[in-house]
Structure 1
Amino acid sequence: MANIFMTGATGFIGYEVLQELLKGDHTIYALVRSLREFDVLKGKLPSGRGQVLPVIGDLQKEALGINDLGMLRDVDTIIHAGGPMDIGMDMQTAKTSFLHGANEMMKVSDDLVQHGSLRHFIHVVGYKSPFNEDNWREGQQQWTEENFLPLEEPYERMKFLADLVVRQRAEKLRLLLSVVNPSTVIGDKRTGETEQTSGLGMLVEGVRKKQMLFVPGGHAYRLPLVTKTDLALLIAHLVTTQPANSDTYYVLASKAHSPNNQELISSIAKELRTLQPIGKLSIRFLERLVNAGIGNKLGIPKGSLNFFVNEEFSTASVQRFRAEPFAVKDILPYVIADIDFRLSHPNHHSPLQRNRRGKLATIENILPDAKQTVLLIHGLFSSADMWTPIIKDMPHVNSIAVDLPGFGRSPYHHQQDALQGMVDAIIEIIQELNTPVTLIGHSIGGFIAARVHEKMPHHIKRLILLQPTLQKAANKTPYYQSPGLLALGLGFMKDKQIKNVLVKQHSFKNTADIPEEYVQFVRQDLQSSRMRKTTAEMIALLHQTKTFAKGVQLDKDKTSIIWGEFDQTYSIEGFRDQANVTLLPLFHSFPISQPKETAARLKDFI
């Protein structure tokens, strides 16, 4: 069991480390600016064997702003992971965040060595730091704030000078020092959730804006990556094993297990369903363009080129603890989709648990005593989040709402048959759950649910279809049958046009009936070429006769249809004798405009 003082516990990396540490019998003292900040942190953390306690302070203050260091006397390990990720910060901010913070951390460390139990200092820096055990003492007396790496941006200069300061002071204090140098950190190893969009997100945003048509360095360079999961596991391992000697740990996927720049930019473009790069430019030439002030027009912020490398890094120190190499290629599609969603919806937050099932992102409400599992499939201009208010009103069942492929946070399936790819993704989840489910689908989600039921009827306990699109849409305008024209038109839609289209298609009674937050959600969704093209593809399929050529067979004993009679775009004629039909004076998107009433109706069938 370790007693740990930790900075950066509320950050992208630190929070993941904190979760991992709480799985052990550790006591973690987390530096936070206020009790309110701590309460928010504590509220998000899962339960574990360890405990976390607040230490009120601030990296930018003298002695970290801690009034009583006596509360830290039993600390044997420090994890310094504090500091913002902003490569564009000015010199004063960088100096305060990194250099001043490092100096104050070492003052606290001095006190804890002299009067306490401190033995081990873990410093999270970055793979571009020039220092390691072999070279950091060379010429160190000559380096000052002014002459240290004068050509680099303030972010790197101060962060790496802080690395040197910690090494110098740790040696004087005879502290065991573990310097952890992660590469660009991406999301969770299983779900791809990447809350910090300022790393790989800069490339994703550049591709979204069609600015990355020329690959920096081509095949010769790469952006080293590592998942936050693997990084947190390594840091937690350093805490529990206490290495024999001070060392530097490069935490990144090797060349063999990570994409080069050509592969990475091409993968991002593929997942975003947008233009592929058409060429490459040398790093040196791009540096000239960036220094000339036109880098942002190419999607390359000043200082970002430093993170592309063509050399390998020694991971011998890491391999002493971990034989398996770090790998990122398999999770990248999920990371890219997650970042794409966050860039489209920068202020979005779900109160429900996020997860991944099969190949799809989900939001869930899983209860320990629930006896039923409900799987919910959204319609067009929507995502799993549409179901949030409905799920909250169905507290007696396990609820799993999916983002269909190409929507929300789910990567597109890239199958030739677009609709079958949707069906296959749901089938995979049900097979993974390995328990009968109640399948609920709205709009095209209802059509997909019906197709899933046809493929695996014994896995479906009940089938509940809300305004399912079981037949071709009534609109005969050729425009609606062309995915290309639809995607182009959707990209130019503003709030007023969105409202007018939704009313014209009988989704809502009138514009006043449409929730404003929903209109904003749709507009933000359509900023993404991935979601825009997938939406256009599905709309076109609903207007094509071939989509419905095979027909749909329902089982009346377990199928219920809730149908809004004011929908004049779609029809259920021919299906009334195949299901238990409830007719209501509603429009097509009633689950969005009237979620409480929808939840109440669903309770009658579940």
Structure 2
Amino acid sequence: MSLKDRHALVLGASGFIGRHVVLALGQAGVRVSTASRSHESYQRLARWLAGRGHDQVPADLRVDFTKASLIEGECDDITEIYNCAGAYRFGMSVDEARSANVDSVRAVVAFAARLPNLHRLVQVSGYRVGGQDPAPWSEEYRRETYRALGAYEASRVEADAVFQNVAAQLGVPWSIVNPASVIGDSATGESDQYLGLASSVKDLWQGSLPALPGNGQTFVPVVAADYLARFMTLLPMDAATQRTAYWPLDDDTPALPDLLTLIAEHYGVKAPRTRVPVPLLKRLPRWLTKADPETLTFLSTDRYPTDSAHAFAARHQLTMPDTATTIRRWADHLAAHRFGDAPADDRRFTKPGGTRTFELGDAAAPTVVLPGLPVNADTWAPVVAAVGHARAVDLPGLGMSTGRPDDWPSWLTALVTETGARHLVGHSIGAAAAVEAATAHPHAVDQLTLVSPFFLQAHPPRTAKWTPLTRRHLSRTTPTALAERLTNATGHATALRSAVADLRRGTIAATTARLLAATANSQWRADLRAKLQHYPGRVHIVLGSHDPLTVEGQSLLDALPHATVTVIAGAGHHPQLTHPEDVAQAIGEQTTSPGPQGEGGVREVPERPR
């Protein structure tokens, strides 16, 4: 069968594996149709493909697993089907799981049997459930299996047996892939699958994993999503793969405790020292383990028949990407997207100056926001998006960045000399970092925008110096309480959820407390004013009307002929929370139309109706 004759139908195309299969087929030049439950699902898939540089959209067909016809649309010339459909969810009822994972398989095989030009039906099963005896199940055996394994895994076991049995009866040519835990793309780490192994990674990131599950033999293998997709798309082209099941996974995946330790080291967090044997873990109450009982069956020392998958890959020059590297990239993607709470694409970790740094926005943007305290880059996301061609980064030791304040000099140097940061927008403590960077590298930084620069404003209250009390308060605060503290209202609590999550991780609250105390240091404040006074570039100050400059601060700016001031009516120390549109406009206007050197003055932004 030549490439031009291939017409692939992908079921479950909007799912994690399905999307990658569609992309791999399209990149190989195969004509693709996708069967989705709704046009909205298809549109999401089309946007995802376009975001990865693939603008050739597949044909849009409708699927209904409850109808005998299954697919609405012309299908007679389909040569291969990839069944990636099904429900990957724990806690389902038996009927729900069987409907999603067993009855759907019967319908797909029956549909495939009616296609006159079908060369292969590729079924996605699973590494723990594949290789079943295709003999029909008795009702007693079914009840025992569902009771022992739980609804999800049992339904996948039954589906594997049913698939082989019905395909043999109807004469459907088939191949089965039994993938391991499918993690992110090998190049980008991208994944939106947050169940299973990803949930343990989340606990590790948040510091809520009490112990490492299993021992040195506990094997939870993984496979990269793009490798799996490429593996699957090659199967119909190889006659030897008919009526064969494959286990694509890395036999050298570290044992589960070692895998989690690898991620902990990459995250810069401490891995738990305690290890809990699997038999004991299964006996502990769920309120203590915080693990769904259905997930515990995956904690096993079993190994799997991978020789045929390795031989097939070698025959087609398909090389498995380095698993440790893929794991690290996957872990980065999970954390950068806050394990599904922040799904936007423009989020990543970088390493300026060797410090692992969280960044959002346009990676190549010259305008870089350095957030203040006790907030993070996420609180600036609406401003960054509105400005366009901008990014925000968490300072070392704050938000989702690792490191310490001691790393700031080398980090700032790398930021402005290696990443193209030409316009620094510093908020509060970030204004101090911006001034330090600009005066250390005046020829690398064209402009400073200082939002609520504390060293030109009133001293903080004496309580700011009470570091232990501040740390304790910050580590226990809620989004509502923090919103009321920062904005005198609770309406911005949602925007502060990520900041609160960060403050509860590791040493973030302690670092924040120490830096808040440092803002009261008169010598540091004076040093920053002196450095600002000698900076030769453009300076733009953005203030809230409720958070004015001191007389001393105003006098300094009056002496700078290249300084301008924007005052936002009704705003306080955190205008990015209360007046994001006005802040974005102020930054954008000065970035695109700075005016001639030496043009100063004060611009007042009237309060908008809210």
Please tell me the TM-score bracket, short chain as reference.
Answer: 0.7 to 0.9
When structure 1 is superposed on structure 2, of 196-205 and 93-102 the one drifting more is: 196-205
Contact 2:216 2:257 in 1 (8 A): yes
CA separation in 2, counterparts of 1:309 and 1:575?
Answer: 67
Q: Classify the secondary structure of the residue corresponding to 1:244.
A: helix
CA separation in 2, counterparts of 1:474 and 1:299?
Answer: 45
> Alpha-carbon deviations, 1:261-283, whole Å to 9, x = none?
33344466667887752422221
Amino acid aligned to 1:38: Y
When structure 1 is superposed on structure 2, of 326-335 and 244-253 the one drifting more is: 326-335
Q: In the TM superposition, what are the counterparts of 1:268-347 in structure 2 within 5 Å? A: 276-289=271-284, 294-316=285-307, 317-318=309-310, 319-320=313-314, 321=316, 324-330=319-325, 332=327, 335-336=330-331, 339=334, 346=341
The answer to whether residue 200 in structure 2 is matched with residue 194 in structure 1 is no
CA separation in 1, counterparts of 2:363 and 2:204?
Answer: 36
Using the TM superposition, give the Cα deviation of residue 210 of structure 1 relative to its aligned residue in structure 2, in angstroms: 6.6
TM-score norm. by structure 2 comes to 0.79
CA separation in 2, counterparts of 1:80 and 1:159?
Answer: 13
Using the TM superposition, give the Cα deviation of residue 175 of structure 1 relative to its aligned residue in structure 2, in angstroms: 5.0
- Could you say if the C-alpha distance between residues 51 and 41 of structure 1 is closer, same or farther in structure 2, counting changes exceeding 3 Å? closer
Amino acid aligned to 1:199: G
The answer to whether residue 547 in structure 2 is matched with residue 567 in structure 1 is yes
Amino acid aligned to 2:196: G
State the partner residue of 1:505: none
The answer to whether residue 34 in structure 2 is matched with residue 51 in structure 1 is no
The answer to whether residue 371 in structure 2 is matched with residue 378 in structure 1 is yes
> Alpha-carbon deviations, 1:112-145, whole Å to 9, x = none?
1xx2x211222222211241xxxx5xx5336346
Contact 1:406 1:531 in 2 (8 A): no
Structure 1 unmatched ranges of 5 or more: 503-507
> Alpha-carbon deviations, 1:242-265, whole Å to 9, x = none?
46323433333333xx44333344
CA separation in 2, counterparts of 1:230 and 1:425?
Answer: 35
Using the TM superposition, give the Cα deviation of residue 226 of structure 1 relative to its aligned residue in structure 2, in angstroms: 3.1
- Could you say if the C-alpha distance between residues 274 and 357 of structure 1 is closer, same or farther in structure 2, counting changes exceeding 3 Å? closer
> Alpha-carbon deviations, 1:470-514, whole Å to 9, x = none?
5898336466553x6544322432355323421xxxxx4x42xx6
Using the TM superposition, give the Cα deviation of residue 81 of structure 1 relative to its aligned residue in structure 2, in angstroms: 0.8
The answer to whether residue 107 in structure 2 is matched with residue 104 in structure 1 is yes
CA separation in 2, counterparts of 1:40 and 1:75?
Answer: 23
Q: Classify the secondary structure of the residue corresponding to 1:22.
A: helix
- Could you say if the C-alpha distance between residues 7 and 462 of structure 1 is closer, same or farther in structure 2, counting changes exceeding 3 Å? same
Contact 2:457 2:548 in 1 (8 A): no
Quote the sequence identity (%).
20
Amino acid aligned to 1:141: A
Q: In the TM superposition, what are the counterparts of 1:484-495 in structure 2 within 5 Å? A: 485-495=469-479
Amino acid aligned to 2:159: A
State the partner residue of 1:253: 250
Q: Classify the secondary structure of the residue corresponding to 1:235.
A: helix
- Could you say if the C-alpha distance between residues 202 and 354 of structure 1 is closer, same or farther in structure 2, counting changes exceeding 3 Å? closer
Contact 1:186 1:194 in 2 (8 A): yes
Using the TM superposition, give the Cα deviation of residue 108 of structure 1 relative to its aligned residue in structure 2, in angstroms: 0.9
State the partner residue of 2:71: 66
Q: Classify the secondary structure of the residue corresponding to 1:74.
A: coil
CA separation in 2, counterparts of 1:421 and 1:213?
Answer: 30
The answer to whether residue 508 in structure 2 is matched with residue 534 in structure 1 is yes
Of the three residues 581, 585, 589, the one matched with 1:600 is 585
Contact 2:374 2:512 in 1 (8 A): no
CA separation in 2, counterparts of 1:355 and 1:141?
Answer: 49
The answer to whether residue 493 in structure 2 is matched with residue 497 in structure 1 is no
CA separation in 1, counterparts of 2:69 and 2:503?
Answer: 45
The answer to whether residue 399 in structure 2 is matched with residue 400 in structure 1 is no
CA separation in 2, counterparts of 1:361 and 1:188?
Answer: 19
Amino acid aligned to 2:547: D
State the partner residue of 2:565: 582
Q: Classify the secondary structure of the residue corresponding to 2:9.
A: strand
State the partner residue of 2:427: 442
Contact 1:3 1:27 in 2 (8 A): yes
Using the TM superposition, give the Cα deviation of residue 55 of structure 1 relative to its aligned residue in structure 2, in angstroms: 1.2
Using the TM superposition, give the Cα deviation of residue 38 of structure 1 relative to its aligned residue in structure 2, in angstroms: 2.2
Q: In the TM superposition, what are the counterparts of 1:85-104 in structure 2 within 5 Å? A: 85-104=88-107
Using the TM superposition, give the Cα deviation of residue 305 of structure 1 relative to its aligned residue in structure 2, in angstroms: 1.6
State the partner residue of 2:598: none
State the partner residue of 2:257: 262
Contact 1:487 1:533 in 2 (8 A): no
State the partner residue of 1:543: 517
Amino acid aligned to 1:475: P
Using the TM superposition, give the Cα deviation of residue 189 of structure 1 relative to its aligned residue in structure 2, in angstroms: 3.7
CA separation in 2, counterparts of 1:592 and 1:390?
Answer: 9
> Alpha-carbon deviations, 1:546-574, whole Å to 9, x = none?
99499454563324131426437999589
- Could you say if the C-alpha distance between residues 158 and 314 of structure 1 is closer, same or farther in structure 2, counting changes exceeding 3 Å? same
State the partner residue of 2:125: 125
State the partner residue of 2:240: 244
- Could you say if the C-alpha distance between residues 393 and 284 of structure 1 is closer, same or farther in structure 2, counting changes exceeding 3 Å? closer
Q: Classify the secondary structure of the residue corresponding to 1:140.
A: coil
Contact 1:30 1:53 in 2 (8 A): yes
Structure 2 unmatched ranges of 5 or more: 592-610
Q: Classify the secondary structure of the residue corresponding to 1:31.
A: strand
Using the TM superposition, give the Cα deviation of residue 107 of structure 1 relative to its aligned residue in structure 2, in angstroms: 0.6
Of the three residues 154, 157, 161, the one matched with 1:160 is 157
- Could you say if the C-alpha distance between residues 159 and 589 of structure 1 is closer, same or farther in structure 2, counting changes exceeding 3 Å? same
Amino acid aligned to 2:135: Q
Q: Classify the secondary structure of the residue corresponding to 2:27.
A: coil
Q: Classify the secondary structure of the residue corresponding to 2:102.
A: helix
Contact 1:430 1:437 in 2 (8 A): yes
Contact 1:213 1:276 in 2 (8 A): no
State the partner residue of 1:419: 405
Using the TM superposition, give the Cα deviation of residue 111 of structure 1 relative to its aligned residue in structure 2, in angstroms: 0.6
- Could you say if the C-alpha distance between residues 322 and 453 of structure 1 is closer, same or farther in structure 2, counting changes exceeding 3 Å? farther
Q: Classify the secondary structure of the residue corresponding to 1:141.
A: coil
Which structure is larger by alpha-carbon Rg, 1 or 2?
Answer: 2
State the partner residue of 2:24: 20
Contact 2:502 2:508 in 1 (8 A): no
